[in-house]
């Protein structure tokens, strides 16, 4: 029923994904490509977050070094 033709429509063959081997083989490849693109976006966001974190930590170290300038902690 869900594959049935409507009233007044001319008959058409089955959809390409059912009858064309190349299309059926291409579907998983497209899904893999989509997942790879999504992963690339996630990795770029994670890389940006890591860079921001390192920048923050570097600034904290610089502030700490500035506060300790000239003091001897070993003595």
Q: How many C-beta neighbours within 10 Å does residue 70 have?
A: 4
Q: What is the pLDDT of residues 7-36, one digit of tens each?
A: 666 767 889 999 999 999 999 999 999 999
Identify the residue with better confidence: 66 or 7: 66
Model confidence at 69, pLDDT cuts 50, 70, 90, reads: confident
Residue with tokens 């029923």: 1
pLDDT computed for residue 67 by the predictor: 84
φ/ψ bin of 27: left (φ > 0), alpha (ψ from -120 to 50), beta (otherwise): alpha
pLDDT computed for residue 32 by the predictor: 97
Identify the residue with better confidence: 75 or 33: 33
Q: Where are the domains of the chain?
A: 16-66
> CB–CB of 40/30 below 8 Å?
no
């Amino acid at each position: 029923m869900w594959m049935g033709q409507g009233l007044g429509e001319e008959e058409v063959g089955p959809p390409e994904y059912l009858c064309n081997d190349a299309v059926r083989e291409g579907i998983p490849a497209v899904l893999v490509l989509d997942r790879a693109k999504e992963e690339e976006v996630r990795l770029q966001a994670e890389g940006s977050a890591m860079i921001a974190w390192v920048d923050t930590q570097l600034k904290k170290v610089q502030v700490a070094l500035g506060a300790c300038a000239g003091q001897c902690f070993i003595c």
